[in-house]
Amino acid sequence: MHTTFHVGSSGGFGGLPILIFIVVAALIVVGAIYSWINAKKRREALAAWAASKGLSFSEGRDGGYEYSFPEFKVLKAGESDRYAYNIISGSYRNRELRAFDYHYITTSTDDKGNRTTTHHTFSAVIIASTIPLKPLHIRPEGFFDKIGAVFGFEDINFESAEFSRKYKVTAPDRKWAYDVLHARAIEYLLKLPPFSMQLDSRNVIFWNNKNWDVPQFESAMNIVNDLLEMLPEYVKEQQLGTTP
């Protein structure tokens, strides 16, 4: 799209479009500087917090997460340029931890053929379980999930009607879903803001499509650890008897 500015010779308004352009450009620059300063402060806060917990911090990009954790669908979001950054790693509450920001790109084309590229970022934590797990996916239930339920495409429901309304839960093994999401766990999770969580055979990823500061990262890390520790003893014994 081309924009042409005309400078008039009379009326005193000829320079107005140029003035507007300069003001808008200045606001964009100021906004970019403000965002850069905030990102730098946040990065420094994450690094300091990680050091205080005996964890490592790296602001560099790692494009291998979608391959290291192939079962986690959220790490395959978008079309390209997927990578983790601002990575915190180490042992937290005796479990291996990775906490990070994640980036990906989506593109769209309008009816005039104009292509738009959108950058997306969110924060997440991945914690390794000390016992084998089974696949399980929890996410907020959306409008189309409710429509699908009308046609018989139901997810796994629980005794808690509130939890069943709030979240869509899927798992190849329904019993495993009930083992993990027992009454105490559901009561605990219902106190949280909306979230998404997925389990593979050994790890748990937790996210909510937002960028977190230190308190939110620490909260997410504790939520996953708490949930793993709340697994019933018979489930832990059962899983320890399986092949990792």
- Check pLDDT > 50 for residue 135: yes
Please report the pLDDT score of residue 200 as a whole number: 97
Structure-model confidence comparison of residues 16 and 129, the more confident one: 129
Please report the pLDDT score of residue 145 as a whole number: 57
Q: What is the dihedral of CA 76, 127, 192, 51, to 10 degrees?
A: -110
Please report the pLDDT score of residue 16 as a whole number: 73
- Check pLDDT > 60 for residue 64: yes
Q: How far is 66 from 240, CA to CA, in rounded Å? A: 27
pLDDT digits (tens, 9 = 90+) for 173-182: 999 999 999 9
The pair phi, psi for residue 167, each rounded to 5°, is -130, 145
Whether 168 and 141 have beta carbons less than 8 Å apart is answered as yes
Q: What is the pTM of this model?
A: 0.83
Q: How far is 43 from 143, CA to CA, in rounded Å? A: 36
Q: How far is 81 from 240, CA to CA, in rounded Å? A: 38
Please report the pLDDT score of residue 5 as a whole number: 35
- Check pLDDT > 50 for residue 152: no
Exposed, middle or buried: residue 204 (CB in 10 Å: 0-12, 13-18, 19+)?
buried
Q: Coil, strand or helix: which one is 12?
A: coil
- Check pLDDT > 60 for residue 153: no
Please report the pLDDT score of residue 21 as a whole number: 75
Smallest Cα–Cα separation from 219: which of 92, 55, 45?
92
Whether 120 and 81 have beta carbons less than 8 Å apart is answered as no
Whether 97 and 65 have beta carbons less than 8 Å apart is answered as no
Mean pLDDT along residues 39-62? 96
Q: Coil, strand or helix: which one is 74?
A: helix
Across the beta sheet with 80-92, what order do the strands follow?
A: 56-58, 80-92, 95-109, 115-128, 203-207, 196-199, 136-140, 167-170
Q: Which amino acid is at 117?
A: T
Mean pLDDT along residues 193-199? 97
Whether 132 and 201 have beta carbons less than 8 Å apart is answered as yes
Whose tokens are 């014994």? That residue is: 237
Percent of the chain clearing pLDDT 90 (strictly above)? 73
**How many other CB atoms are there within 10 angstroms of residue 214's CB atom?**
15
Please report the pLDDT score of residue 19 as a whole number: 79
- Residue 154: pLDDT band by 50, 70, 90 thresholds? low
**Mean pLDDT over each residue of the chain, to the nearest integer:** 88
Structure tokens at 166: 């709030």
Q: How far is 233 from 239, CA to CA, in rounded Å? A: 10
Q: Which residues contact 105 (CB under 8 A, 6 or more apart)?
A: 78, 79, 80, 81, 117, 118, 119, 120
